[in-house]
Structure 1
Amino acid sequence: MTLKVGFIGTGGIAKAHLNNLAKIQEADVTAFFDINFEKAQKEAQAWTSAKAYTDVNEMLDDRQLDAVYICVPPMAHGEAENAVIERGIPFLVEKPLGIDNRPTEILKKIEQKKIITSVGFHWRYQEATRRALDLLNERKLGMSLGYWMGGMPMVPWWRVLTESGGQFVEQTTHIVDLLRYLSGEVVEVFAAYSQRVMHEKVEGTTVADVGTVTMKLENGSIATISNTCISPVGHKVGLDLYTDQGILEISSAGLKDIKADTVTEYKETVSPYFVEDEVFINAVLTGDSSKILSDYRDALITHNVTLAANKSAEIGKPINLKELSHT
């Protein structure tokens, strides 16, 4: 069986998924929507039976799709999800889920219709992550340090707080999600953000360009995740786990297991993006979503941690996640 797949949004991350789907025999991309119709047309030309659309609802009704990828900027979430959910179509949506609390209402609709979902937290699919999980079964975690240290993506919406949600929501959410997956649930956050450089260098910048978030976890461990977008060179992106037997360093390149007398490195051999797409397509084909590592419900927890961090930075006080969930 071949699945008819549609795309809402044709930016850089959409192209990464498209490259993967071209290698998955069971997936046939047949429809594209983008607010820039020319971009949708260009992508459609690469697929034998694909068509470009200027309206999401027309696309969904015309093509009778089996699965949809939603790859839109943070502020654009909501309309696309609702249109797909209304028709009961399984979907993979890229992070972040949005910039506000609307994903909570979207989740209710998903669960009413029992729709298969996947969210683009590809770090969960890394071989390094799986190996770290296994090693943590034999070790006691004390604390975690996370990083996203680099430069500012120059897409206009990224530097506007009301459009991207800021770096912690839009980008560093990957590290927050990895922390949750490996270290446990976050119960409290205390954040400090500042504007140091980019608001002077790039006109229209309203996002903070440095920030640190300290977290208490349910299991008693603590974590700090820092990010910056002021650097002219890319630096550290990943998560370090400090345990009673040494340090586990996770990056996109793989895992480094540092002990008192040995350092063992494990390099990534498979693209986690590809694994993520393969798992999603297989889940839609079989109806078995058990291998999806981040569905919408789970991703919403990560989203709420990042929103709580923004709120903490705004008011200058810690935010208790459990109290927040009851307000």
Structure 2
Amino acid sequence: MTLRIGFIGVGGIAEVHLRNIAATDGAQVAAMYDVNPERLQEMAHRYGCAAYDDMQEMLQQAALDAVYVCVPPFAHGEIEFSVLEHGLPMFVEKPISIGEDPARQILDTIESRRSIVAVGYHWRYAQAAQRAKERLAGRIPAMVQGYWMGDMPMVSWWRRMDQSGGQLVEQTTHIVDLARYLLGNVREVYAVFAQRGMQDIVEGVTVPDVGCITLRFENGAVGTISNTCLLNQGYTVGLDILTRDAILEIRGDGLTERTTAQTVIYRNQENPYLSEDIAFLDAVRSGDPSRLLSTYKDAFLTQRVTAAANRSAASGRPVSLD
């Protein structure tokens, strides 16, 4: 059986998944919809699929087995409800919202329907993350230090707080999610943000360009995650986990484990984007979501942390999470 996959939104991140599906046996890109007609026609021609200028028409007519939702943070809501109404499994790119809503209502619908829904936190699927999880077994994590330091994506909605939620929500959420995946849930968040120059360089910037959050985990560990989009170059992205006898440094290309005896570097040999796509397609085919490392419920718990950080930065006070 060849799975027929539809796409809602065919921007940059969608193309990563489009390439993976086009190269995977037993799946095909069957239809797509986007609000940008030129981009839609270009991508439909490239992948040899039907192009729809009406999302509802695609969902009704394209005979799809699953749908990828790859839209900006502000666009979530009606799309997910429509896909769920048609009874289709769904892969949603992060972040799933700007704040907790409408993600909370979407989660309620997913759970009531017992729908198969994955979310694109691909760092979980990296071999570095899996190796770190193994190396943490039997150890007590004491603290984490996370980073997303670089430049500002030149996308108009990204630089607006009311459309992206800011760098922490849209980008650094990967590091927040990775920390949750490896250390567990967060109990308390405190954040400070500032604007230190990008509003004078790029027109229409309302997002903070520097920020730090402090986290208290339910298991007692503490941590900080810092980000900036102020730089004119890429700098560093990753997560460090400190235990009594080992330091684990997770980066996009692998894991470094430091002990007093030795330093060992493990390089990723697989593409985590492809791994998450294969896991989703397998779940759709089998009806078994157990191989999904990031369900919508798990993504919502990460979303709560980033939303709480925004509230904390606005109020100047810590925010407690149940």
Shorter-chain TM range is: over 0.9
How far did 1:5 drift?
0.4
Aligned to 1:98: 97
Aligned to 2:163: 163
CA deviations on 1:223-245 (whole Å, 9 max, x unpaired) are 10000001111111000000011
Percent identity over the alignment is: 51
CA deviations on 1:132-186 (whole Å, 9 max, x unpaired) are 0011013221100000000000000000000000000000000000000001110
How far did 1:38 drift?
2.0
Unmatched runs of 5 consecutive residues or more in structure 2: none
Aligned to 2:298: 298
**Residue 54 of structure 1 aligns to which amino acid in structure 2?**
D
**Residue 105 of structure 1 aligns to which amino acid in structure 2?**
Q
Structure 2: distance between partners of 1:13 and 1:66: 21
Structure 1: distance between partners of 2:39 and 2:163: 21
Structure 1: distance between partners of 2:114 and 2:57: 23
Q: Note if contact 1:118-1:296 (Cα within 8 Å) is conserved in structure 2.
A: yes
Deviates more, 1:6-15 or 1:35-44: 35-44
Aligned to 2:52: 53
Q: Note if contact 1:192-1:316 (Cα within 8 Å) is conserved in structure 2.
A: yes
Aligned to 2:276: 276
Look up the SS of the partner of 2:158 in the other structure.
helix
Residue pairs, 1:1-327, within 5 angstroms: 1-48=1-48, 50-100=49-99, 101-322=101-322
Query: Structure 2-normalised TM-score?
Result: 0.98
Structure 1: distance between partners of 2:83 and 2:315: 36
Look up the SS of the partner of 2:241 in the other structure.
strand
How far did 1:47 drift?
3.0
CA deviations on 1:223-275 (whole Å, 9 max, x unpaired) are 10000001111111000000011200000010000111310000011000000
Look up the SS of the partner of 2:238 in the other structure.
strand
**Residue 138 of structure 1 aligns to which amino acid in structure 2?**
G
Unmatched runs of 5 consecutive residues or more in structure 1: 323-327
CA deviations on 1:31-76 (whole Å, 9 max, x unpaired) are 110001221121111334x110111100000102100000001101
Q: Note if contact 1:32-1:41 (Cα within 8 Å) is conserved in structure 2.
A: no
Structure 2: distance between partners of 1:81 and 1:6: 13
Look up the SS of the partner of 1:157 in the other structure.
coil
Deviates more, 1:309-318 or 1:55-64: 55-64
Structure 1: distance between partners of 2:213 and 2:172: 11
Structure 2: distance between partners of 1:32 and 1:38: 13
Structure 1: distance between partners of 2:315 and 2:226: 18
Moved over 3 A (4+): none
Query: Structure 1-normalised TM-score?
Result: 0.97
Q: Note if contact 1:37-1:53 (Cα within 8 Å) is conserved in structure 2.
A: no
